[in-house]
Amino acid sequence: MIESLNGIHETVNFSNDSTIILYDNIKNEDYPIHWHTPIEILMPLENTYKAICNDIVFDLNIGDILLIAPGTLHSLYAPAKGRRLIFQADVSLLNSIKECESAFSLISPATLITPEAASQIHETLFQLMMEIYDEYTGDAILSDASIYSKLIRIFVLIGRTHATDSDKFETSQNKQQEYVEKFMGICDYINKHCTESLSLDDVAEMVGFSKYHFSRLFKQFTNNSFYKYLNLRRIMYAEKLLIDPEMSVTEVALLCGFNSISSFIRMFKICKNCTPTEFRMMYRQ
């Protein structure tokens, strides 16, 4: 399945000017650690499948759906017999859609959707994946557009399920929807401005909360503190820049909003368990 591998970087070979590819895969073949820029979605149809993403092990059963974020190091392991859908798509063109980038960040590095853990959306997501398969293997016009529309629906369902979790905010039902919309907007703002000088005080004031109330609500919504979320976004941006061998680590640090190379290296090690230089060497293997 991996056709073009330079070290551990896979170039996904889309065909016919498309930015989508789908494999109905039955090979008893393991795929070594690699990464690529398209998103990848795995769904076993017969037997199990195994993926390791950023050292996190995912054991998939029939019908389980694993979304792997762009740029994630991962390896795949197949049983002796089995069948699974392996879907890859370039999602860069969707970043201009309001809140899409926030939805993408929810799946990083990978998200497993199972009937047991996500009973409210799994059946719909499974059906959408089968509709993507039918579109891809059929001959209808505008198939790519139809597939992207279904992919967006997948992101929307996952994003809304995360945002409307009944335990997400410790507040009344009337405030729940208001807070969900407000904090989706806040996350979208941070994602777009993470390389700038953002402070907890300024963002809290921007949305009309005290910093203490804002901090508590933000942690409830994202499961991260404000500064941890901000730094995670900066490190995600740094990963893309570090792939460019012409850009120094110091340049990357400054472009990502860090005031010093030492703070950048320290935060990178916390988030990625390696230094920026070690990360760059790993991706250039």
pLDDT in tens, the chain (285 residues): 677 766 777 788 888 788 999 999 999 999 998 888 899 999 999 999 999 998 899 999 999 999 998 878 899 999 999 999 999 999 887 777 766 766 677 787 899 999 999 999 999 999 999 999 999 999 999 999 999 999 999 998 888 787 666 455 555 556 666 777 788 788 888 988 999 999 999 999 998 999 999 998 888 888 789 998 999 889 988 988 988 888 999 999 999 999 899 999 999 988 877 889 988 887 665
Domain shared by 159 and 172, yes or no: no
How many CA atoms lie less than 13 Å away from 182 in the CB half-sphere? 15
Q: Do 24 and 83 form a contact (C-beta atoms < 8 A)?
A: yes
- Determine the Cα–Cα distance for residues 168 and 104; give it in Å rounded to an integer: 19
Q: Do 109 and 53 form a contact (C-beta atoms < 8 A)?
A: yes
Residue 283: the pLDDT is: 62
Domain shared by 16 and 43, yes or no: yes
The domain boundary residue, chosen from 108, 142, 163: 163
Domain shared by 108 and 131, yes or no: yes
Residue 48: the pLDDT is: 97
The domain boundary residue, chosen from 111, 128, 163: 163
Residue 75: the pLDDT is: 93
Domain shared by 69 and 181, yes or no: no
- Determine the Cα–Cα distance for residues 21 and 227; give it in Å rounded to an integer: 37
Residue 26: the pLDDT is: 95
The domain boundary residue, chosen from 163, 187, 214: 163
Domain shared by 281 and 180, yes or no: yes
Structural domain containing residue 239:
166-285
| CATH assignment at residue 255 | 1.10.10.60
Tokens read off for 49 = 């499948």
